[in-house]
């Protein structure tokens, strides 16, 4: 077989064999912060991290997992509630810490977690299967976005630690 053809066949076999296995995406070579910036659907979340002076947390050595509300999740919040959060740095910092755990949390192990402790100090309930993972009442809509320092689990709701946001 011609060497370049051999390489092409090998590469194609990897793609075909890897397709549909539910395998996690390869690490992007970027931190959680860089990956979220590149994704384009976490603009409100990133603005919140910058407002709270916490964006450096998303670059820390891992493993970290962030349950990252996408822009559509933030759009579900009433404007006054979002504005209140963005204008209160301490409240915002607690909310953001409630979305991060200092551990590897991936969808294939969703059924075994039960709860995980957040940076904020509270716990989140993790349930489901690799195909349908939930965090509290939020659905993971894009699981296991692998980064150099952990994982992004894209969720469809902003998680609210109500007792800590008073």
**Is residue 69 within 8 Å of 45, Cβ to Cβ?**
yes
Whether residue 116 has pLDDT greater than 80: yes
**What is the number of helices (H) and of strands (E) in the chain?**
7, 7
Domain ranges of the chain: 27-164
Residue 162: per-residue pLDDT: 65
27-164 maps to which CATH number? 2.30.180.10
How far is the C-alpha of 154 from the C-alpha of 37, rounded, in Å?
Answer: 13
pTM, whole model, 2 decimals? 0.81
**φ and ψ at 146, to 5 degrees?**
-80, 135
Q: Coil, strand, or helix at residue 118?
A: strand
Confidence of residue 132 (pLDDT cuts 50, 70, 90): very high
Q: What is the predicted pLDDT for the residue at 7?
A: 39
Residue in the structure block whose two tokens are 């800590």:
164
Average pLDDT over residues 117-129: 96
Tens of pLDDT, residues 24-48: 445 568 999 999 999 999 999 999 9
- pLDDT exceeds 90 at position 20: no
Note the pLDDT of residue 15. Answer: 32
Tell me which of 17-21, 27-31, 71-75 is least confident. Answer: 17-21
C-alpha–C-alpha distance, residues 124 and 128, integer Å: 13
**Structure tokens of 46?**
């990133």
> Closest Cα to residue 71, out of 106, 105, 101, 36?
36
Nearest to 20 by CA among 130, 150, 110, 139: 130
Model pLDDT for residues 76-108, shown as the tens digit of each residue: 999 999 999 999 999 999 999 999 999 999 999
Average pLDDT, the chain: 85
With both helix axes pointing from N to C terminus, report the angle between 43-51 and 79-87 in degrees, rounded to the nearest 10.
30
Position 119 scores a pLDDT of 96
Query: Hey, which bits of 1-155 come out as E strands?
Result: 64-69, 100-101, 114-117, 123-129, 132-135, 138-147, 150-155
């Amino acid at each position: 077989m011609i060497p370049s053809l051999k390489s092409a066949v090998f590469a194609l076999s990897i793609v075909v064999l890897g397709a549909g296995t539910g395998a996690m995406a390869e690490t992007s070579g970027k931190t959680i912060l860089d990956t979220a910036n590149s994704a384009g659907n976490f603009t409100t979340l990133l603005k919140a991290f910058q407002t709270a002076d916490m964006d450096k947390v998303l670059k820390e050595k891992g493993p970290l997992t962030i349950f990252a509300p996408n822009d559509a999740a933030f759009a579900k919040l009433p404007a006054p509630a979002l504005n209140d959060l963005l204008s209160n740095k301490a409240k915002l910092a607690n909310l953001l810490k409630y979305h991060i755990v200092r551990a590897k949390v991936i969808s294939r192990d969703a059924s075994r977690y039960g709860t995980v402790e957040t940076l904020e100090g509270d716990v989140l309930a993790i349930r489901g299967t690799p195909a349908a993972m939930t965090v509290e009442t939020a659905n993971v809509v894009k699981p296991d976005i692998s980064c150099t320092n952990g994982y992004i689990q894209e969720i469809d709701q902003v998680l609210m630690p109500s007792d800590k946001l008073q």
